[in-house]
């Protein structure tokens, strides 16, 4: 019913009335549409509040009927204005603060990219920047939908892009296109992808050409897609057997598990030198001016023999003014001597790492053994790791393409 | 005594299922606890003191008795009274 906020904005006056038949004033104010509230009776007086805008009209009523009127307090924004005028600095500061906050918040300061897996982040950012969305871009200079559409046109590998702008942060969400597998669809054979000893053959479609224990090399047909229908037993006994049915071509499917071999190489030094930070730091602060740089903090020589230097700049446009902060971190060289066993173990781990990058994740490791290639006096330990695994070596190949290849 | 016009209005309101306070300009009272009284469709104030208050209605008037009575808001059609209300009476 009462709107405290609008009362505050418009300002209101607390009054005290005295006279005979005060109800009359209330009813008259009511009839003239003057909003009054907080009416309190105290003996001969009536206390009430009236809006600043209705005060003149209310005063007229009071004067016409000969009541005594006294202003107790003026409240609300119009009356605070006087106080604010006296404290100009505060007012100007507050206004400036709001203006700066508003201006700063109408720019995009951070751009993030999410959802990309194969596409480089910088490519997405560059594409967005070309279309107007970059850190420092004013929000009114680009249209979110236009940027999205232009990015979709530029980057053919993405199927969806969304620029979500929340405050000063823009998040570019992309969804990459998933291209269909180039799977063989027509009739095909299953051939060996690498050499090995067949352990297990599981045929879903086609005719098996190998059995467990066979040694196969890369390119051998494991499951053939050419099906020759079996000759029914009664046809064999016939004096003139009917001609055999034509072989049919199918897409061979199945799993051929074979024992395969991998070998990996790794090496490790017996003596290791490592530079590590000691945690001691020396800092320099420069102030750049048009008359040259001035060293403010960190006078004197750098107290370290070996150090790493990092530098940060804050410069004004035109590079005339600015500050630069240089940090020097002390470095120390630590030498470590490994025992034979430790060095071999490290070399073995490296060899295994190399192997893992070559081996498919589906290979099940069955056995492994290690061979040290270097002599004990060598400064570097060299090892070779042999791994025996079991894996599905079959890959599809369209029928006839192998012959064409040969 | 209801006039003929009022009787017709009431019959129409009943028939069309329109709230009586709209058609007949009847007061609508909402009392929250003992301390708050909200009244719509009033016709001005007849008497006001901290213990007794009489409010004019379209027919008759309403007497509110209590202590520390205070008019928190007053508008042409509605008003809100707060205080320790002890009784509310309709009088002709």
Reading phi first (left if > 0) and then psi (alpha if -120 to 50, else beta), residue B30 is in: beta
ipTM at complex level = 0.81
Q: Considering only CB atoms, which chain B residues are within 8 Å of A37?
A: 71-74
Closest chain A residue to B70 measured between Cα atoms?
A: A40
pLDDT digits (tens, 9 = 90+) for A303-333: 888 888 888 888 877 777 888 888 898 888 8
pLDDT at A1: 45
B74 touches chain A (CB under 8 A): yes
Tell me whether residues B76 and A36 touch, CB distance under 8 A: no
Query: Would you say the C-alpha torsion A311, A316, A320, A321 has a positive or negative sign?
Result: negative
Residues 271-290 of A with CB under 8 A from B: none
What mean pLDDT value characterizes chain A?
86
B29 touches chain A (CB under 8 A): no
Question: Alpha carbon of A197 to those of A41, A208, A214, A264, A390: distances in Å?
Answer: 108, 15, 6, 20, 9
pLDDT digits (tens, 9 = 90+) for A121-165: 999 999 999 999 999 889 989 899 999 999 999 988 899 999 999
How far is the C-alpha of A61 from the C-alpha of A28, rounded, in Å?
Answer: 7
A41 touches chain B (CB under 8 A): yes
How far is the C-alpha of A36 from the C-alpha of A26, rounded, in Å?
Answer: 8
Tell me whether residues B48 and A27 touch, CB distance under 8 A: no
Reading phi first (left if > 0) and then psi (alpha if -120 to 50, else beta), residue A322 is in: left
Sequence-distant (6+) residues with CB within 8 A of B47 are A23, B53, B54
Best mutation target among A22, A35, A39 (most B Cβ atoms within 10 Å) is: A39
The minimal CB distance from B45 to the residues A26, A35, A42 is found for A26
A43 touches chain B (CB under 8 A): no
What's the pLDDT band for A55 if we cut at 50, 70, 90?
Answer: very high
A22 touches chain B (CB under 8 A): yes
pLDDT at A374: 82
Tell me whether residues A1 and B78 touch, CB distance under 8 A: yes
Tell me whether residues B74 and A27 touch, CB distance under 8 A: no
pLDDT digits (tens, 9 = 90+) for A332-346: 888 888 888 888 888
How far is the C-alpha of A95 from the C-alpha of A92, rounded, in Å?
Answer: 5
* Entry pTM: 0.40
CB B55 within 8 A of CB B39: yes
A313 touches chain B (CB under 8 A): no
Percent of chain A surpassing pLDDT 90: 25
A47 touches chain B (CB under 8 A): no
Best mutation target among B73, B78, B81 (most A Cβ atoms within 10 Å) is: B73
pLDDT digits (tens, 9 = 90+) for A14-34: 999 998 888 888 999 989 989
Please report the DSSP string for B11-67 in residue order: HHHHHHT--HHHHS---EEEEETTTEEEEES---EEEE-SSEEEEE-SSSEEEEEEE
pLDDT digits (tens, 9 = 90+) for A281-301: 888 888 888 888 888 888 888
């Amino acid at each position: 019913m009462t709107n405290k906020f609008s009362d505050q904005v418009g300002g209101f006056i607390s009054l005290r009335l005295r006279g005979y038949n005060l109800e009359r004033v209330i009813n008259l104010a009511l009839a003239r549409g003057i909003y009054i509230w907080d009416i309190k009776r105290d003996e001969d007086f009536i206390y009430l509040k009236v809006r600043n805008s209705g005060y003149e009209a209310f005063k007229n009523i009071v004067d016409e009927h000969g009541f005594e009127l006294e202003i107790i307090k003026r409240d609300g924004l119009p009356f605070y204005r006087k106080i604010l005028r006296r404290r100009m600095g505060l007012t100007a500061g507050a206004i400036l603060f709001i203006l700066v906050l508003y201006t700063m918040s109408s720019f995009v300061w951070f751009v993030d990219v999410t959802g990309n897996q194969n596409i480089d982040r910088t490519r997405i950012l560059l594409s967005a920047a070309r279309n107007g969305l970059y850190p420092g871009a004013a929000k009114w200079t680009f249209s979110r939908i236009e940027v999205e559409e232009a990015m979709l046109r530029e980057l053919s590998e993405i199927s969806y892009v969304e620029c979500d702008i929340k405050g000063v942060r823009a998040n570019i969400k992309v969804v990459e296109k998933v291209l269909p597998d180039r799977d063989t669809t027509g009739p095909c054979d299953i051939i060996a992808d690498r050499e090995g000893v067949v352990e297990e053959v599981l045929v879903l479609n086609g005719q098996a050409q190998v059995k467990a224990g066979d040694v196969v090399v890369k390119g051998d047909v494991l499951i053939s897609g050419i099906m020759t229908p079996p000759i029914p037993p009664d046809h064999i006994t016939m004096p003139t057997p009917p001609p055999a049915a034509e072989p049919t071509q199918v897409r061979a499917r199945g799993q051929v598990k074979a024992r395969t071999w991998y070998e990996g190489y790794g090496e490790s030094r017996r003596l290791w030198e490592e530079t590590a930070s000691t945690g001691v730091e020396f800092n320099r602060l420069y102030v750049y001016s048009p008359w040259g740089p001035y060293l403010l903090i960190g006078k004197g020589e750098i107290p370290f023999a070996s150090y790493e230097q990092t530098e940060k700049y804050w410069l004004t446009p035109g590079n005339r003014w600015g500050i630069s902060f240089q940090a020097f971190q002390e470095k120390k060289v630590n030498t470590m001597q490994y025992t034979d066993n430790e060095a071999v173990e490290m070399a073995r781990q490296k060899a295994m790492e190399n192997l893992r990058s070559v081996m498919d994740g589906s290979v099940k490791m069955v056995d492994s053994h290690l061979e040290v290639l270097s002599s004990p006096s060598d400064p570097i330990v060299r090892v070779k790791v042999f791994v025996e695994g079991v894996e599905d070596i079959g890959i599809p190949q369209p029928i006839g393409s192998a012959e064409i290849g040969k | 005594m209801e006039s003929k016009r009022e009787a017709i209005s009431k019959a129409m309101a009943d028939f069309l299922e329109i709230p009586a306070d709209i058609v007949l300009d009847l007061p609508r009272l909402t009392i929250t606890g003992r301390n708050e009284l909200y009244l719509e469709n009033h016709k001005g104030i007849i008497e006001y003191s901290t213990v007794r208050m009489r409010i004019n209605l379209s027919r008759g008037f309403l007497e509110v008795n209590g202590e520390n009575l205070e008019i928190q808001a007053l508008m042409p059609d509605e008003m809100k009274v707060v205080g320790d209300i002890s009784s509310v009476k309709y009088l002709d």
